[in-house]
Amino acid sequence: MKSIKIGIIGFGVVGSGVVKVLQKNSAEIEKRVGRKIEIAAIADLDLKTDRGVKIDRKILTTDGFAVCRNPKIDVVVELVGGTGIAAKFIETALENGKHVITANKALLSEKGEKLFQLAEKKKKLLLFEAAVGGAIPIIRTIKTSLAGEQIEKIYGILNGTCNYILTKLANEGGDFAEVLADAQKRGFAEADPTLDIEGGDTAHKIALLASIAFGTQVDFKQIHIEGITKLSAADFEFARRLQRKIKLIAVAKKENGSLEIRVNPTLLSVDSPLAKIDGVTNAVAFHGKNLGEIILSGPGAGSLPTATAVVGDIIEAARGSGIANRGMAEDSLEKFPIKKIENVESEYYLRFGVKDEAGVIRDISKVLAKFDLNIRDILQLDLKEFQREVPLVILLHKNSESKIRKAVGEINRLKCVCGKTVVLRVEE
């Protein structure tokens, strides 16, 4: 039988991983697909760097568009990343009748609509398992295994860089900048880590998960995103004493016809399953009407784990299956309003920097009472890092973000409050 020919655009960490996985597992893959998968072309601007794989140099090119237009190629694998030229590669490949595999979460979550519609028009696959959670089979689980279920809530740890930093800070203490520098040195954080530590990468991933789980296209710009840069050593000490762990949690919930979708550093009870996910590992939990809860966890990044997910998609394309790139027909997708963050309810952790004098708790609790905010726990610590102020933490029972913001605004104007108040969410 004729082999399936693939063209890879982007010969970086994941691209070279894909070549390694395809070469190493070629015999098994051929048995599973019933056809050989042949790498017919690889495009990258850098053709000099040694990627540690043996390939025929004749298949190398610097022209990604030539790969997209090559009539011999059946499947194009886009691993360039970013929201610029990658979109053009995908568009050209689809226009030229190729199935497309990508790991590009930024592109699909911010500008995916047009590409998915084009794929459906051309009756081609646009698969993206590697875009969320690296090797963890999340997308296919939602689209196929859970297709008969109504998913109500997804929450997860979707960024390995942040989870590595948060785990280090919780276990060993220290300063955020030092731990970040160490993560960069070990290759767990990018040279420019902004997208990871400010929560953008996590938001891209939850946008994709919510879109396929709820049959919609989430408007990325409406997602409330908080990163982990506002956390200090004091927050980890308080969390420890409160029997909690701080994790960067992405939440997507469908309730009464609207969506709640957000990314927040969150205090979780130490006994909750996601609190136990440490280091670069990712995890995602699904809640459904019939299934209760399912949690998937595993390596969320890295060359070979991510490549494995890409190869899974290549195999799906090679086997040939129906087109439901986002889990349902494009004309069945619905639009749901996204809840304003001010109206989202949760429990809260407030860390104030206050003067060490009489009456502080009285003044703060007076404001909280004015907004009907009920205190759940209160803790003040004499920490060395605070010299002129004392850190005071108040945990609040469930309430809306709008009330919390108003109360914190008023508290910040009290004479006894001197530092910037840190507001975090608390979930069980």
Q: Which residues are catalytic?
A: 205
Task: Count the site residues for ligand HSE by CB under 6 A.
Answer: 7
Contact flag: residue 201 with ligand HSE (CB under 6 A): yes
Q: Coil, helix or strand for 301?
A: coil
**249 vs 301 by CB, closer to ligand HSE:** 301
Residue 285: φ, ψ to 5°: -115, 135
Q: Which is nearer to ligand HSE, 92 or 109 (CB)?
A: 109
Q: Does 301 bind ligand HSE (CB under 6 A)?
A: yes
Residue bearing tokens 């408007």: 219
Are 104 and 82 contacting, i.e. CB atoms less than 8 angstroms apart?
yes
| 159 binding ligand HSE? (CB under 6 A) | yes
In the bound complex, what is the minimum distance in angstroms from residue 312's beta carbon to ligand HSE?
Answer: 17
Which of 17, 156, 160, 327 binds ligand HSE (CB under 6 A)? It is: 160
Query: With binding defined as CB under 6 A, does residue 110 bind ligand HSE?
Result: no
Rounded to a whole number of angstroms, the minimum distance from the CB of residue 246 to ligand HSE is 17
Q: Which is nearer to ligand HSE, 148 or 187 (CB)?
A: 187
C-alpha angle with apex 232: 226 to 237, nearest 5 degrees? 115
Residue range at the interface with ligand HSE (CB under 6 A); choices 156-164, 166-174, 362-370, 385-393: 156-164
Separation CA 33–CA 220 (nearest Å) = 36
Among 300, 312, 327, 419, binds ligand HSE (CB under 6 A): 300
Residue 174 falls in which region: left (phi positive, over 0), alpha (psi -120 to 50) or beta: left
| b/e 26-57 (16+ beta carbons within 10 angstroms → b) | eeebeeebeeebbbbbbbbeeeeeebebeeee
Phi, psi torsion values for 301, nearest 5 degrees: -160, -175
Q: What are phi and psi of 80, to 5 degrees?
A: -85, -40
Residue with smaller CB distance to ligand HSE, 85 or 195: 195
299 near ligand HSE (CB under 6 A)? no
| Minimal distance, residue 264 CB to ligand HSE, in Å | 17
Q: Which of 78, 196, 260, 313 binds ligand HSE (CB under 6 A)?
A: 196
The answer to whether residue 161 forms part of the interface with ligand HSE (CB under 6 A) is yes
Least distance from C-beta 77 to ligand HSE, angstroms?
16
Task: Give the shortest CB-281-to-ligand HSE separation in angstroms.
Answer: 10
Q: How many CB atoms lie within 10 A of CB 201?
A: 27
Q: CB under 6 A: which stretch of 154-162, 218-226, 230-238, 335-343 binds ligand HSE?
A: 154-162
d(CA 137, CA 350): 36
- C-alpha 311/C-alpha 314 separation (Å) is 5
Element (H, E) at 185: helix 176-185
**For ligand HSE, which is the closer residue by CB, 159 or 167?**
159
- Phi first, then psi, for residue 272 (nearest 5°) are -75, 145
Residue (86 or 404) nearer to ligand HSE, CB: 86
The burial class, CB within 10 Å (0-12 / 13-18 / 19+), for 307 is: buried
- Provide the binding-site residues for ligand HSE, judged by CB under 6 A: 159-161, 196, 201, 300-301
